[in-house]
Amino acid sequence: MKYGCLAIILIGVCVLAYAALKAWDNFGEIYNTHF
Q: What is the pTM of this model?
A: 0.61
Instruction: Determine the pLDDT at residue 12.
Output: 97
- What's the pLDDT score for residue 15? 97
Tens of pLDDT along the chain (35 residues) come to 688 999 999 999 999 999 999 999 988 887 777 66
CA separation, residue 9 to residues 1, 13, 19, 21, 22 (Å) = 13, 6, 15, 18, 20
Tell me, what's the pLDDT at 28?
84
Domain locations in the chain as residue ranges: 1-35
